Chains A and B, each alone.
Chain A
Amino acid sequence: MAFIPHTADDVARMLAAIGVSRLEDLFDEIPRELRIKALAGVPAELNEMEIGRLMSERAAADGTALSFLGAGAYEHHIPAAVWAITTRGEFYSAYTPYQAEASQGTLQMIYEFQTMIARLTGMEVSNASMYDGASAMVEAALMAVRANRKSRAARILVPTTVHPHYRRAAVATAANQGLRFEELPYCTEEGVTPAASLARFDAEDVTALVIQQPNFFGRLEDVDALTDWAHAHNVLVVAVVNPTSLALLKPPGQWGTRGADIAVGEGQPLGVPLSSGGPYFGFMTTRMEFVRQMPGRIVGRTLDVAGHEGFTLTLQAREQHIRRAKATSNICTNQGLLMTAATIYLSLMGPQGLARTAATCHARTRELVTALTRLPGVRPAFTGPCFHEAVLLLDRPAAPLLKALAARGIFGGLDLGGYYPELGPALLVCATETKTQADVERYRATLQETLQAARAA
């Protein structure tokens, strides 16, 4: 089954029109010794009924646990309308909107998305999205090197409170281009980056400072002080933010006296399913003065020859298909379909719905932390408020506990041992609006039994 509509008669007439007798003749310019007879290693075809059964069995085998995992990917309610519309063939099976007249739906969607994300982050302009949060942060660092004309160092300060996978992706992607990422330690009592620790860079050439808010631990950084320090020293600020939190937290455009210079983040919380890690989308916003340094697709509104409004890709002189080796990035796509889902999600949630979602996430996580830290052997890692997730310290290794919890249908959080060994046994836990008080109680009771069993053993 290859979705090929040809009849034998079609094939015969087409071959005759071409002037060959067999399909194989169409490959006569390929050296004979390179041509293969059959594809060993690929199984025989399945029909749709058979693949449906196989996939249903595999999806069911993965089960649906009660999950308290966050760490950069969050389980949220997704209105049914979001994917009902997103998977319409007119969005799902359309190409990049190069032919603007035949792509006004996608183009207007991007324009609306750009508007919503700019408003959410409090910034002036947005692009049409990036691959994911990590790649958006890397692209922001590269962009900062282009935009900060006062700096020659290509040196980026990255607190260790930034998502560890983002930091790894940054090095893997940008080290070949001469960027240096220097890590900043965090305060072990509070789990945030102390603004005072930046003083040692006062006299040095630094290109940009990355600030994640809320940070990987769920803690709130002193974004005003960090931003003001950066701007006082000709350092650009790259904000990495959770879009749900922005319904409640100060948007990057208002950090400090001047606001952040570039704001990026993982868009997954906005209507995109967890789906084992992707497809998600990253977002990126900046000041108008830096728009020509921004990578990725950008849509603008303009007029057609009849004087009517319409939408088109713009500022394409930055891009690879025009600039080739001198482009701002090799990126050709955005994550169009996910950005579509997010635009519909934000329209359905509106300011009130997003604020309630954020507030409920916050409240639920606090209830979770309160409940779990009442158990002997569990305590909060840091003092001060969290948003949406928190670090808990344990009196015994996390891995066996998590395994025991998973066996009982609960994903108890992320074991931080591999990322922050200095914390000792530690868990990053998260509860979104999808969790009920009964879910929190189930986790507490199960953890209590698991801890008791571990102590008895």
Chain B
Amino acid sequence: MSAREKVIFEYSHPGRGASDQWPHDPGPAALADLPAGLRRARLPELPEVGELEAVRHFTRLSQLNFSIDTHFYPLGSCTMKYNPKACNQYAMLPGFLGRHPLAPESHGQGFLACMYELQEMLKAVTGMEGVALSPMAGAHGEFAGVAMIRAYHRARGDLKRNEIIVPEAAHGTNPATATMCGCVVREIAVNAQGDVDLDELKQAVGPNTAGIMLTNPSTLGVFERRIQQVARIVHEAGGLLYYDGANLNAILGKVRPGDMGFDVIHMNLHKTFSTPHGGGGPGAGAVGVATRLLPFLPLPVVGKEGERYRWLAEADLPQSIGRLSAFMGNAGVLLRAYIYMRLLGREGMRQVGEYATLNANYLLKRLMAAGFDAAYPERRASHEFIVTLKRQARELNVTAMDFAKRLLDHGFHAPTTYFPLLVPECLLIEPTETESKDTLDAFVAAMSQIQKEAEQEPGRVTSAPHTMPVRRLDDVRAARQLDLTWKPTAQP
């Protein structure tokens, strides 16, 4: 990888600038009517650099990153599949980019048609009865989902239901979301095979149960086999089932959350439907609901009347949980998901679930054959699986983190480490369907080599990475001696 790069402010010179990008100077008279007391005394200290300097600087920064386009990225629970270039190119056509969010519907029929059809396709692949597209990330979709559960109980006058049940293996967002919605979180155990403990679930449900949040396949990389019993127990207690769509890729085209009994789901379009992760966003967390939650969908939703599309707003859905964003959520991300789904079609979507599962099971078997320990060796992997390195940690003093860092030196992004929390020294590995057998074989070879190194020269592994722009960073110092903005004299 490239060497380090200066901070852009270190390139700055007073009076320099990319002036071709600037409008002509309207002169001081243009501002004569602005009261002096409301004006800024000095211009903001932004960088003053030429266009080429800026282009080189930011291009060099890009070269300090791993990405899907450059590296295998087996990050469990994140579904780092290939982001087709066509999805970006056609979502960035001028007609789409230039459209103002408040432009009249008469001048947005093309965009609205895409959104309407996206809603319909998402309904079809999840088995839900209604979809709203506006939540802007998975966690935002979770928020909308739990808010709908609350609104549903309230609308029935059932005011005491404020408990959300969450299995201990759940994503951290699940309990955080429940709290944000004013709910109390109740965690239940998962048994040794990775399934929800049904006895504990029966104990947990009652007149205060608002619902349960589940990921299926779970974060342990296995399918919750007794999902229908779980659904029955929760429904009979008066609660609703929430499906965290983080792992939808595993079952795309094979099983549908609606058929499993879920009442509300969110989908991470940036996972299953291949919109870019962008270094941490934008995501898109569309939500789907069963019939009884239709009145509560967040706004706006796209409706169709005859051949015309229009936004459904407060007057159409008076019981809606409301607007969660200024406009329409991450519309451009939704367009990318739409394009991806049309490229795949119904047959391609079935293949996604099948080949994601094939790749995961193959990689698991190969790693087990190479001597690594699976967390659930007797179970079929979903689209991801867990390897535990607790034996290596105990015997060699080489941890999951060390393996993860050493993988970077081999040109592989690290798998998810230390999640889920209940498996010690774990690597959660998700290869996705877009990786070839060759890549998976190379990953196994790298893991085997690191294992050998851990046995023979463990210091090489515990001090990795060695080939990145930086070595391991001092996180404690980062949190104690906060250096969050660049200053001319700042020394870290």
Q: Which of A6-55 contact B (CB under 8 A)?
A: 6, 10-11, 13-15, 17-19, 23, 26-31, 34-36, 38-48, 51-52, 54-55
7 A-B pairs with CB atoms under 8 Å apart are: A5-B434, A27-B357, A73-B101, A276-B103, A330-B173, A337-B282, A344-B54
Q: Is the CB of A176 within 8 A of B96?
A: no
Q: Is the CB of A277 within 8 A of B225?
A: no
Given contact pairs A298-B484, A312-B473, A247 touches B97 in the complex (Cβ within 8 A)? no
How far is the CB of B448 from the nearest CB of chain A, in Å? 15
Q: Is the CB of A27 within 8 A of B254?
A: yes
Distance A278 CA – B111 CA, assembled complex (angstroms): 13
Partner of A302, one of B124, B404, B473: B473
With an 8 A cutoff between CB atoms, is B372 at the interface? no
Q: Is the CB of A276 within 8 A of B278?
A: no
Distance A15 CA – B468 CA, assembled complex (angstroms): 36
Q: Is the CB of A172 within 8 A of B379?
A: no
Residues of A within 8 A of B75 (CB): 95
Given contact pairs A13-B437, A87-B88, A273-B98, A303 touches B474 in the complex (Cβ within 8 A)? yes
Residues of A within 8 A of B124 (CB): 39-42
Residues of A within 8 A of B161 (CB): none
Closest to B31 in A: A359
How far is the CB of A111 from the nearest CB of chain B, in Å? 7
Residues of B within 8 A of A278 (CB): 101, 136, 282, 325, 327-333
Q: Is the CB of A105 within 8 A of B62?
A: yes
Distance A335 CA – B176 CA, assembled complex (angstroms): 19
Residues of A within 8 A of B477 (CB): 302-303
Residues of B within 8 A of A224 (CB): 37
With an 8 A cutoff between CB atoms, is B390 at the interface? no
Q: Is the CB of B260 within 8 A of A45?
A: no
Closest to A433 in B: B23
Distance A315 CA – B480 CA, assembled complex (angstroms): 9
Residues of A within 8 A of B404 (CB): 99
Given contact pairs A10-B436, A346-B46, A95 touches B279 in the complex (Cβ within 8 A)? yes
Stretch from B4-12, B196-204, B232-240, B286-294 forming part of the interface with A: B4-12
Q: Which of A100-148 contact B (CB under 8 A)?
A: 100-106, 108-109, 111-112, 114-116, 118-120, 124-126, 128-129, 131-135
Q: Is the CB of B483 within 8 A of A101?
A: no
Stretch from A78-86, A228-236, A444-452 forming part of the interface with B: A78-86
Distance A75 CA – B175 CA, assembled complex (angstroms): 39
Partner of A64, one of B94, B108, B150: B94
Partner of B484, one of A52, A291, A414: A291
Partner of B59, one of A85, A303, A331: A85
Residues of A within 8 A of B215 (CB): none
Distance A107 CA – B234 CA, assembled complex (angstroms): 43
Q: Is the CB of B40 within 8 A of A169?
A: no
Q: Which of B56-73 contact A (CB under 8 A)?
A: 57-59, 61-71, 73
Stretch from B342-350, B391-399, B450-458 forming part of the interface with A: B342-350
Q: Is the CB of A249 within 8 A of B40?
A: yes
Q: Is the CB of A73 within 8 A of B474?
A: no
- Name the interface size band of chain A: 35 or more
Q: Is the CB of A88 within 8 A of B59?
A: yes
Q: Is the CB of B345 within 8 A of A42?
A: yes
Residues of A within 8 A of B107 (CB): 62-63, 65, 406, 411
Stretch from A200-208, A350-358, A373-381 forming part of the interface with B: A350-358
Q: Is the CB of B326 within 8 A of A169?
A: yes
Q: Is the CB of B66 within 8 A of A99?
A: yes
Closest to B341 in A: A42
Q: Is the CB of A354 within 8 A of B332?
A: no
Partner of B46, one of A277, A288, A291, A350: A350
With an 8 A cutoff between CB atoms, is A242 at the interface? no
Distance A19 CA – B299 CA, assembled complex (angstroms): 48
Residues of B within 8 A of A359 (CB): 25-26, 30-31
Q: Is the CB of B38 within 8 A of A26?
A: no
Residues of A within 8 A of B41 (CB): 250, 254
Contact with A along B461-492 (1 / 0, CB 8 A): 00101001111111101110111111000101
Residues of B within 8 A of A362 (CB): 30-31, 34
Closest to A274 in B: B100
Q: Is the CB of A333 within 8 A of B280?
A: yes
How far is the CB of B99 from the nearest CB of chain A, in Å? 5
Given contact pairs A95-B280, A169-B323, A274-B99, A62 touches B111 in the complex (Cβ within 8 A)? yes
Residues of A within 8 A of B248 (CB): none
With an 8 A cutoff between CB atoms, is A59 at the interface? yes
Residues of A within 8 A of B181 (CB): 176-177
Residues of B within 8 A of A44 (CB): 345-347
Closest to A61 in B: B110
Distance A33 CA – B67 CA, assembled complex (angstroms): 39
Closest to A221 in B: B38
Q: Is the CB of B485 within 8 A of A125?
A: yes
Q: 4 nearest interchain CB pairs? A: A45-B345, A89-B69, A277-B327, A41-B124
Given contact pairs A77-B23, A95-B73, A363-B26, A1 touches B348 in the complex (Cβ within 8 A)? yes
Closest to A135 in B: B325
Partner of B176, one of A18, A323, A353: A323
Q: Is the CB of B96 within 8 A of A275?
A: yes
Partner of A77, one of B21, B61, B88, B123: B21
Q: Which of A178-218 contact B (CB under 8 A)?
A: 178
Residues of B within 8 A of A6 (CB): 355, 358, 436-437
Distance A277 CA – B112 CA, assembled complex (angstroms): 12
Distance A58 CA – B99 CA, assembled complex (angstroms): 12
Closest to B439 in A: A5
Q: Which of B48, B92, B254, B433 has the most CB of A within 10 A?
A: B254
Q: Is the CB of A59 within 8 A of B484?
A: no
With an 8 A cutoff between CB atoms, is B192 at the interface? no
Given contact pairs A99-B414, A324-B175, A115 touches B9 in the complex (Cβ within 8 A)? yes
Residues of A within 8 A of B283 (CB): 333
Q: Is the CB of A46 within 8 A of B342?
A: yes
Distance A277 CA – B69 CA, assembled complex (angstroms): 28
With an 8 A cutoff between CB atoms, is A314 at the interface? yes
How far is the CB of A433 from the nearest CB of chain B, in Å? 4
Distance A67 CA – B95 CA, assembled complex (angstroms): 13
Q: Is the CB of A94 within 8 A of B44?
A: no
Q: Which of A305-345 contact B (CB under 8 A)?
A: 305-306, 308-312, 314-315, 317, 319-327, 329-338, 340, 343-344
Given contact pairs A92-B278, A176-B180, A352-B43, A42 touches B478 in the complex (Cβ within 8 A)? no
Given contact pairs A2-B351, A77-B21, A403-B104, A91 touches B331 in the complex (Cβ within 8 A)? no
With an 8 A cutoff between CB atoms, is A266 at the interface? yes
Q: Is the CB of A94 within 8 A of B46?
A: no
Residues of A within 8 A of B167 (CB): none
Distance A131 CA – B281 CA, assembled complex (angstroms): 9
With an 8 A cutoff between CB atoms, is A279 at the interface? yes
Residues of A within 8 A of B279 (CB): 91, 94-97, 103, 106, 109, 336-337, 340
How far is the CB of B308 from the nearest CB of chain A, in Å? 13
Q: Is the CB of B321 within 8 A of A172?
A: yes
Partner of A165, one of B49, B82, B323: B323
Residues of B within 8 A of A333 (CB): 137, 139, 280-283
Residues of B within 8 A of A65 (CB): 103, 107
With an 8 A cutoff between CB atoms, is B361 at the interface? yes
Q: Is the CB of A385 within 8 A of B35?
A: yes
Given contact pairs A6-B437, A31-B228, A251 touches B474 in the complex (Cβ within 8 A)? no
Partner of A332, one of B55, B173, B366, B436: B173
Contact with A along B137-159 (1 / 0, CB 8 A): 11110110001001000000000
Closest to A340 in B: B279
How far is the CB of A396 from the nearest CB of chain B, in Å? 18
